[in-house]
């Protein structure tokens, strides 16, 4: 039986990109459930989302951040397989089918990595340093945790710990749970409208802060293994 696909896309002040990206996503993934999460946008993003037929819109009245928006979308997804991507248009939704195809029974998550990044030099350098530091602390083996294009089965969400910064460590959570993660190259496009909501400095400082907490949590997380269950007769 064909598995149902849910695509979760968070949007924050992306009125200029939303309609085009959603129409692209519908065209390349016609059978998928598309969940657009408006993360408390202060521009016309919500009005733009409502122009696109056949999608589900989750609307938050307050901006709670990318992780909160993604987690909310995952919680509301009805698909067997969940795909996440950014709402700024730099991820290419045409890459989604190959991520889904790579999600075999022995793979817990398929992560895209941006083979040819279309960002500024300073952002690429900051990202490379950040990824290297992260791998040193938590050893998840992921080369590009900043790529939001990811694919996993819906039950993987049980392993995610919702906090402000979760989206950078979803793969690490699954590695810690003993699941296999693979990466495949995906396209990365120039942002054609709008502006990034992060600066290199706030991204780096927040990433380090989160990294310390996640490293501690993964090191302290308990495991449990019940061999069997018996019932007394008395």
CA atoms within 13 A on the CB side of 156: 30
At residue 103, the pLDDT reads: 97
**Could you tell me if 50 and 17 are in contact, meaning their C-beta atoms sit under 8 angstroms apart?**
no
At residue 217, the pLDDT reads: 63
Q: Residue 157 pLDDT > 90, yes or no? A: yes
Select the more confidently predicted residue: 128 or 60.
Answer: 60
Ranges 121-135, 153-167, 196-210, most confident: 153-167
At residue 141, the pLDDT reads: 74
Rg for the chain, CA atoms, rounded: 18
Q: Which pairs count as long-range contacts for 197-205, CB under 8 Å and 24+ apart, including other chains? A: 197/12, 197/13, 200/122, 200/123, 200/126, 203/126, 203/130, 204/126, 204/129, 204/130
- Single pTM value for the model: 0.81
**Could you tell me if 13 and 43 are in contact, meaning their C-beta atoms sit under 8 angstroms apart?**
yes
At residue 214, the pLDDT reads: 62
Select the more confidently predicted residue: 217 or 58.
Answer: 58
- The sheet with strand 150-153 has its strands ordered as 56-60, 33-39, 5-11, 81-84, 150-153, 109-114, 181-186
List pLDDT tens digits, range 101-118.
999 999 999 999 988 776
Compute the distance between CA of residue 156 and CA of residue 7 in angstroms, rounded to an integer. 15
**Pairing of β 33-39 and β 81-84:** unpaired
- List the chain domain ranges: 5-220
The chain-wide mean pLDDT, for the chain, equals 85
Q: Which fold has domain 5-220?
A: Spore Coat Polysaccharide Biosynthesis Protein SpsA; Chain A (3.90.550)
Q: Residue 91 pLDDT > 70, yes or no? A: yes
């Amino acid at each position: 039986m064909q598995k149902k696909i849910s695509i979760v896309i968070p949007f924050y002040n992306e009125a200029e990109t939303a309609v085009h990206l959603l129409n692209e996503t519908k065209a390349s993934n016609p059978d998928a459930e598309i969940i657009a999460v408006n993360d408390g946008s202060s521009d016309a993003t919500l009005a733009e989302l409502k122009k696109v037929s056949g999608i589900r819109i989750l609307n938050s009245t307050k901006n709670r951040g990318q992780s909160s928006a993604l987690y909310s979308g995952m919680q509301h997804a009805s698909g067997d397989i969940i795909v996440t991507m950014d709402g700024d248009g730099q991820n290419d939704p045409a890459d989604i089918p190959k991520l889904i195809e790579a999600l075999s029974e022995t793979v817990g998550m398929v992560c895209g990595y941006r083979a040819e990044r279309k960002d500024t030099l300073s952002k690429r350098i900051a990202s490379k340093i950040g990824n290297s530091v992260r791998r040193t602390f938590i050893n998840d083996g992921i080369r590009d945790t900043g790529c939001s294009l990811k694919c996993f089965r819906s039950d993987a969400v049980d392993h995610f710990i919702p906090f402000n910064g979760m989206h950078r460590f979803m793969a690490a959570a699954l590695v810690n749970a003993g699941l296999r993660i693979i990466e495949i190259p995906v396209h990365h496009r120039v942002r054609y409208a709008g502006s990034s909501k992060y600066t290199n400095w706030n991204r780096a400082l927040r990433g380090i802060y989160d990294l310390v907490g996640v490293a501690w949590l993964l090191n302290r997380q308990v495991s449990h293994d019940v061999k069997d269950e018996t019932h007394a007769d008395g």
